[in-house]
Amino acid sequence: MTQAQIILFTISLITTIWLLHGYLTVRLLQMFSIRARIGLLLSLLFTLAVLALIYLSRLIELTDLAWLSRVIFYEIGWLVLTLPWLLLLDTLLLLGRLGQQHLACCRGRYNPWSLYQAYKKPIAVGFLLASFTLTGVAWLQFHRDIVINHITLTSPKVNETYRLLHISDVQLGSVSPAHVLKIGNAMQQAIDTYDIDLILNTGDQVDSASYTSAQLAPIAYTSPPTFFSLGNHEFYHDQQRILAILQAQRQIILRGQRASFKELNIIGIDDTRDSQALATQLQQQLVEPGRYNILLFHRPIGVLEAKRHGIDLMLSGHTHGGQIFPVTLIVKWLNDYSQGLTLLDKFALYTTDGAGLWGPNLRLGTENEIAVITIQPAEQ
């Protein structure tokens, strides 16, 4: 991004978060019949504080303020969970008010607008209780055990069965070291249960400037070997530092490169938003037509290009499945392959929801997951 684009993006982000917070603050104050003139000012100050802390936490180590960052992220998660229902409530109230003014059939005490005027404060209390309950449900969903999804694929290109463990989007920093340990335990369970041959990691290992190699040790394996491709967050947080840690942990980092494992050809390409750049790299003699080609690429984009160039299995993450409803619906609308398994003839794509996540430790409609992918010979 150019400097002008960065400035425009920052201004747009500040304005959007401010208006969303302002709308929520002003409406809640109105429900309690409190003057809301100061609501927008308070929202602006809070928005600036939130963005300042987020940016600082990604530039320097703020270990002593980690708890504050976590609280702010939870507030943002609560905002995301609450706003759609407030918009729905206001839509019903608007329709009720219009009906009361223009339609004789919609006048009376049971009109939504009339009910709201009569029971404004109880409605506000009930609305807040419901929003906090929903946030609690999302918190519990995140803190459940890591789900191990199992997928079986067949191919005439292999003569023996291979079991792969796919992991992505750990994002230490947004998640705690305790969550990384939980991921490590789930990985060990999968390795023991399924006799895993390879671990394939599609990036976003960290999401903060505050991390250590010891905190990443629970998910570092040399047996079975781990192949790693870089996600977008590897470029945000001291790329050379995370690469040095991964190399010290003897993970095999693939950056526009390929590696062989028996009948498998494993290709790793750095994250990019440009699907044509992906296609260009795939033209660089990375694909071996006679072997089973696996592409590790962080974003689920360029899927048809990968298929056209002879990829058999593409592994991605990045979307988190949308993480929190109703953002899940937006992510599905913006991404053709936002979640789960996609089969296109002999080509397969698996987009994981991620073992970790970004920002608030909340999930609703998604789950923290790793995936065991079994590739077995096709029946003759």
Secondary structure of 176-206 as H, E, C letters: CHHHHHHHHHHHHHHHHHHCCCEEEECCCCE
pTM of the model: 0.86
Per-residue pLDDT of the chain (380 residues; tens, 9 = 90+): 456 655 676 677 677 777 777 788 888 877 877 766 666 677 777 777 777 766 665 555 555 566 667 777 888 888 888 888 888 888 888 887 776 665 555 566 666 777 777 788 888 888 889 999 999 999 999 999 999 999 999 999 999 999 999 999 999 988 989 999 999 999 999 999 999 999 999 999 998 777 889 999 999 988 899 999 999 888 887 788 889 999 999 999 999 999 999 999 999 999 988 778 888 888 878 899 889 999 999 999 999 999 999 999 999 999 999 999 888 988 898 888 999 999 998 999 999 999 999 888 999 999 999 999 999 998 75
For residue 94, give the nearest of 108, 113, 107 by alpha carbon.
Answer: 113
pLDDT of 226: 95
pLDDT of 43: 74
Q: Across the strands, what pairs with 351?
A: 316, 340
* Cβ-contact 277, 312 below 8 angstroms: no
pLDDT of 5: 58
Write the CB contacts of 298 (distance below 8 Å, at least 6 apart in sequence): 168, 202, 203, 204, 229, 230, 231, 232, 271, 316, 317, 318
Q: Is the dihedral of CA 82, 87, 90, 91 positive or negative?
A: negative
3-state secondary structure 65-108: HHHHHHHHHHHHHHHHHHHHHHHHHHHHHHHHHHHHHHCHHHCC
pLDDT of 355: 96
pLDDT of 105: 56
Ordered structural domains, the chain, with CATH: 3-141 (no CATH), 147-377 (3.60.21.10)
Q: Across the strands, what pairs with 153?
A: 375
Amino acid letter for position 5: Q
Prior bond of 224 cis (ω within 30°):
yes
pLDDT of 31: 80
pLDDT of 258: 92
Tell me the C-alpha distance between 1 and 236, whole Å.
Answer: 13
What are φ and ψ of residue 228, in 5° steps?
Answer: -130, 130
pLDDT of 9: 65
pLDDT of 57: 58
pLDDT of 239: 83
